[in-house]
Amino acid sequence: MSATFRPRRVAIIGGGPAGLMAAEVLAAEGHRVDVFDAMPSPGRKLLLAGIGGLNLTHTAEPAQFLASYGARQEAMAPHLQAFGAGELRDWAHRLGVATFVGSSGRVFPTSMKAAPLLRAWLHRLRSAGVRLHVRHRWLGWPADEPASPAYLRFATAAGEISVDADAVILALGGASWARLGSDGAWVPWLRDRGVRVADLQPANCGFDVAGRDGSGWSGHFRKRFSGQPLKSVTLRFDDHTRHTHTRAGECMVTATGLEGSLIYALSAPLRDTLAALGTLTLYLDLAPGRSLERLRADLARPRGTRSMASHLQSKAAIGGVKAGLLRECASADDLADPTRLATTIKNLPLRLVAPRPIDEAISSAGGVRFVDLDAHLMLRALPGVFCCGEMLDWEAPTGGFLLTGCFATGRAAGLGALRWLDAQQQ
């Protein structure tokens, strides 16, 4: 640190992974960092993500990893190349959190839990001088003042307060799980200041299914199979650009349709195709390990006195929720003819009608457009104000890609603020 260095005050609004990573970068260089979060404690959404096991990142090859960011891979590339899966694992290890790679390439803490990592991280941040202010909800900038780091309004239990800072990092999240703090309230405040913000949309979300009669699942199917996992299937559909998507995995039957990892991985083209065309038919292969010819031959064998359910189980390994879905979506004629039945098992049509509401989604798409940010994630219209995390216009599937993007852009915004503050002192 040079003799002429003067620590500056930086306000970070949002205490999720992106905001906390930015705080770590700035505090390490000696700046005075205040993190403001609307919730009673920081990292609420990170803790929620870790309920089933905190999937920190993924060991996919760099090109495959970057492809997970779809149309925004070019904008995200420099941040992910600077702080990708390897760097994130090293960072966790320095916190004292060991990680392991699962069979699918996903990376988890050995404890599988988010709480130990968050506790260790917050302890390190406090030790570095970072001050955490909870139950501080940002209210934007005063209407009669220019938008700048020098004018920040917060609602607190003691009433409204104002805060001055030398730089601001906005890490406010998108608009999913509003009860955890990400409510998208910031969108009009930035738009009012000339910042272009793409409409927020659900990402990593479930979808409603029309059902055979167009009114959703039947009451019987919904009551019996809602919440049941649909394992070892292959999903196929053509999107609005006539590109065919095919992916194997598993998903979950819900009261209104489908959700789960297989659906989340394809939620962007599913959502965009529904928006463009109004409806979409996808096809499920319920027996991906069996050829159509084998299924035809097996199902054509006489079933004698056995029930159709028993015949399907013994000849096609179709039972439980798969058998229920087949009966829900196939016609009586399809079920009665072995050739048609085999074809239906391999190509079961399901018509999607809408994504689930954004507040139910794991994450959101849309946000601050990259064209309105410089290479260091500073808003061109608001010098000294930086953005990071989910509030930027990118999306990625779960599996470690979404969380890595939040960490990487948080670090990039912290470094961008450092660079800008240094330039102000010269």
Topology of 9-202+364-424 in CATH? FAD/NAD(P)-binding domain (3.50.50)
Res 4: pLDDT: 62
Res 228: pLDDT: 96
What is the model's pTM? 0.92
Q: Where are the domains of the chain?
A: 9-202+364-424, 207-355
**DSSP-based three-state secondary structure for 229:** strand
**DSSP-based three-state secondary structure for 57:** strand
Helix (H) or strand (E) holding 187: helix 186-192
- Retrieve residue 204's tokens: 């990593």
Res 304: pLDDT: 78
Res 309: pLDDT: 85
Among candidate residues 45, 58, 56, the one with its CA nearest the CA of residue 16: 45
Among candidate residues 367, 318, 414, the one with its CA nearest the CA of residue 125: 414
- Retrieve residue 6's tokens: 């003067």
d(Cα 173, Cα 157) in Å, to the nearest integer?
22
Contact in structure between 273 and 281 (CB atoms under 8 Å): no
Helix (H) or strand (E) holding 313: helix 308-316
The position carrying tokens 């179709």 is: 318
Amino acid at 335: L
Helix (H) or strand (E) holding 109: strand 106-109
As a whole number of Å, the CA-based R_g of the chain is 25
User: One digit per residue, pLDDT tens: the chain, 426 residues?
Assistant: 555 668 899 999 999 999 999 999 999 999 999 999 999 999 999 998 888 889 999 999 999 999 999 999 999 999 999 999 999 999 999 999 999 999 889 999 999 999 999 999 999 999 999 999 999 999 998 777 666 666 899 999 999 998 999 999 999 999 998 888 889 999 999 999 999 999 999 999 999 999 777 789 999 999 999 999 999 999 999 999 999 999 999 999 999 999 999 999 999 999 999 999 999 999 999 999 899 999 999 898 887 778 888 888 888 889 999 999 999 998 888 888 989 999 999 999 999 999 999 999 999 999 999 999 999 999 999 999 999 999 999 999 999 999 999 999 999 999 999 999 999 887
Res 3: pLDDT: 52
d(Cα 301, Cα 324) in Å, to the nearest integer?
22
Give residue 211's region: left, alpha or beta (phi > 0; psi -120 to 50).
left
Res 147: pLDDT: 61
Q: Which CB contacts under 8 angstroms, 24+ apart, belong to 67-73?
A: 68/396, 68/397, 68/399, 68/401, 69/394, 69/395, 69/396, 69/401, 69/405, 70/268, 70/395, 70/396, 72/370, 72/393, 72/394, 72/395
d(Cα 72, Cα 61) in Å, to the nearest integer?
18
Res 28: pLDDT: 97
Q: What angle do CA 252, 254, 255 make, to 5 degrees?
A: 165
Helix (H) or strand (E) holding 283: strand 280-285
